[in-house]
Amino acid sequence: MTRKVDLGNALVEIGETVILGHGDIEFDPAGRIRIGRAWVNAEEGEQSRKFFLNFDQNALETATIKTNIATYETYPFDGMKMTLNLDPHPLYGAPASPNLCGLGDSYWTSTSLPWPAWAGGLSNVLTTNFVKFQHNYLELKIHPSTSLGNPPCDFFNPAFESGVIHNTRMAARFAKEGKLRGLWFDPEPLGGAPAGWSIWKYSDRPYASTRTFEEYKARAFYFGRRWMEVVQEEFPEIEIQVAFLYGFATEGETSTYGLLGSFLDGMFRARRGEAKIYEWGEEMYNRYQQNFLEFFKNATYLEHPTFSDSDYVRARAGVAIRMDDTPFDGDNALFQTGAENQHDYGTERYVSFYQETRRFLAGTATAGEVAAVRAARVSKGLEATFDPTVIPGLVAYLNPEALGLANGATMASFVDVTGNTWTGVGSPTYTSTGVGGHGGIDFVAASSQYATCHPVASRFSGTDPSFTLIWVQDFGTTPSGTVCMFSLGNSSDADPRISIRYTSAPLLTSQRVANDGTSDIAFASVGTYTPTTAATICAIVCNGALGSALVINGATNGYDPQPTIGAQTFDRMTLGALLQNTTPSQYFDDPVGSFLAFNRALGIQELKFVMQGIGRQYGITVV
């Protein structure tokens, strides 16, 4: 059987030799791949699964992660970065202030951080219930500050070398014992140093007047080599995510990153065995229209000019995408496209997401941004399981196929996915094939059948309430009059406030009633959809007094402006009948599949995510 390996967008058969980027790759019949000098198993090159990582600015501390991991794992990612407070800190004791005792400001200094100071953070990590997030990293930042009372941060300062190398060893040990994937390393100089000061800028070095540029390059190479050596001594199979590699490393005495290339050369020269270095690709922020394949090749098969062929090494690409900056800021559909492109063309294994102003795990990203990431994952098969509970505002999710009922079973009482108890009136039954060959609740009008879930109704109360209703229908017969699929109202009012009805045409209409409880107003025809016998996903999205839209299989079918209806109090919710006060009428006479209710207007990407998920379940194409 011919075996193939997917590299970027090139599917290569075993036994071929290909030229890709700077290096050659050879496959042999045994299923191994030669990349440079090293033979690895073909499965390593086979990219059947990629991972989305959250690397927002300001990594979260281990204690915070332990407390909130269940919430964090509702976001559409596979891992994160973290930091920790050192306790006791060798200079400040207990971590009264994270700004003083956090790893971020203490790592890149001459202060050695003893292993016992890392114990509290390690305990937090080991007792955190990671379920979904299995690709996690410890953050190491370059904060070359002298604010800790240390001697100058310089490659020729023995105390600085001793502190940084020791702390790097401790960090690798922490990652290993904490069962993390490895380290996230940012070489950008940040922190409280004087303006323009950079550990990588030769002309700013404290000993530049007595040491030549070439001497500093040699020292930076040595430093990078020692850095990588101690990391691998503690964690041989480590993964290192580097914010950027040679993309910013322009050599020169006055270049901001003039010495970074030498440091990276040292890292790569020392890399061996199972250790992996990933290019995070900070310089690729937002460049979704550029040729990601070209970046992928150059980053993945990286050959620095100072290396000979025998020194050839491999860095693995993991492109970053930032959505709270142009061009993605506020354009979630464009962001989804960018994420999908980076998944396809810009990464070997990881796609990293970075935010500064609206951070995901801090809860400040918009719902639309979260939905855009999730939609990208779904479109690439990274989220096969449809889970609408991650969308804010879901108050009811009835999935008949999840109830485990036999065909024809009576649905007298049942609990939906969101934990709501529904009551079946008149003995509606479960149909295993009635909704496009899938399961649903079968209502028979002649038997006055419907279902109620009154406790949920109060979740819609308020002034000019916004809501989203999504359901799957499959008409077997044309209504002989007006029938009602859904109604929401109050037991003291003669008319339901919100209802979804079908007329004998049959046309789908939806009504809202003014707060005097008597007149139907301006919600009577948000669309002109004529139901068919094919299973269909319908949605009504009402944005308060701004307007309402009818969406059919993902496409907007109609829109109406919405007048004010005032404050509303609901205590009655029915499926399959119109409820006036407590009296039912206009019974539905066909099966209904999944039904979802949100007490807010979903955004475009959120609605797309939900409808696509339902579409996969029912075999319905959603545009």
| Overall average pLDDT of the 156-164 stretch | 92
DSSP lists the bridge partners of residue 463 as 567
In this prediction, residue 1 carries a pLDDT of 30
Tens-place pLDDT, residues 334-354: 778 878 877 876 666 888 888
In this prediction, residue 528 carries a pLDDT of 56
DSSP lists the bridge partners of residue 61 as 83
Whether the pLDDT of residue 219 is over 50: the answer is yes
Lowest-confidence segment of 34-43, 153-162, 214-223, 489-498 by average pLDDT: 34-43
Closest CA to 486 of 515, 461, 532, 451: 451
In this prediction, residue 47 carries a pLDDT of 43
In this prediction, residue 491 carries a pLDDT of 85
In this prediction, residue 48 carries a pLDDT of 54
| Tokens read off for 325 | 């900056």
Lowest-confidence segment of 87-96, 158-167, 424-433, 592-601 by average pLDDT: 87-96
Tens-place pLDDT, residues 411-421: 999 999 999 99
Collapse the DSSP code of 250 into the 3-class scheme (helix H, G, I; strand E, B; otherwise coil) and give the result.
Answer: coil
Q: Which among 193-207, 297-311, 565-579 has the top mean pLDDT?
A: 565-579
Tens-place pLDDT, residues 531-546: 666 788 989 888 877 7
In this prediction, residue 39 carries a pLDDT of 31
Whether the pLDDT of residue 472 is over 70: the answer is yes
Cα–Cα dist 413/410, whole Å: 9
Q: Which domains does the chain have, with CATH numbers?
A: 1-48 (no CATH), 49-384 (3.20.20.70), 394-618 (2.60.120.200)
Classify each residue of 437-454 as buried b or exposed e, where b means 16 or more C-beta atoms within 10 Å of its C-beta.
ebbbbbbbbeeebbbbbb
| Overall average pLDDT of the 99-108 stretch | 75
Question: Which DSSP letter does residue 602 get?
Answer: P
Whether the pLDDT of residue 45 is over 50: the answer is no
Report the phi/psi class of residue 163: left, alpha or beta, with left for phi > 0 and alpha for psi in -120 to 50: alpha
Amino acid at 480: S
In this prediction, residue 42 carries a pLDDT of 33
Do the Cβ atoms of 160 and 152 come closer than 8 Å? yes
| Tokens read off for 190 | 């940040």
Classify each residue of 556-577 as buried b or exposed e, where b means 16 or more C-beta atoms within 10 Å of its C-beta.
ebeebebeebeebebebbbbbb
In this prediction, residue 504 carries a pLDDT of 62
In this prediction, residue 573 carries a pLDDT of 93
In this prediction, residue 174 carries a pLDDT of 98
Whether the pLDDT of residue 11 is over 60: the answer is no
In this prediction, residue 195 carries a pLDDT of 44
In this prediction, residue 596 carries a pLDDT of 96
| Tokens read off for 623 | 């545009």
Lowest-confidence segment of 31-45, 101-115, 122-136, 290-304 by average pLDDT: 31-45
pTM, entire model: 0.63
Whether the pLDDT of residue 119 is over 70: the answer is yes
- Total H helices, total E strands in the chain: 13, 36
Whether the pLDDT of residue 281 is over 80: the answer is no
Supply angle C-alpha 299, 303, 309, rounded to 5: 150
**% of the chain surpassing 70 pLDDT:** 72
| Overall average pLDDT of the 374-382 stretch | 83
Amino acid at 341: N
What's the Cα-to-Cα distance from 505 to each of 480, 523, 534, 548, rounded to whole Å? 9, 18, 16, 22
Q: What is the mean pLDDT of the chain?
A: 77
Residue 409 CB neighbours (<10 A)? 14
In this prediction, residue 526 carries a pLDDT of 52
In this prediction, residue 518 carries a pLDDT of 42
Cα–Cα dist 222/602, whole Å: 55
| Overall average pLDDT of the 251-277 stretch | 89
Whether the pLDDT of residue 513 is over 70: the answer is no
In this prediction, residue 191 carries a pLDDT of 58
Whether the pLDDT of residue 144 is over 60: the answer is no
Classify each residue of 148-179 as buried b or exposed e, where b means 16 or more C-beta atoms within 10 Å of its C-beta.
bebeebbbbbebbbebbbbbbbbbbbbbbebe
Whether the pLDDT of residue 34 is over 50: the answer is no
Tens-place pLDDT, residues 50-74: 899 998 888 999 999 999 988 888 7
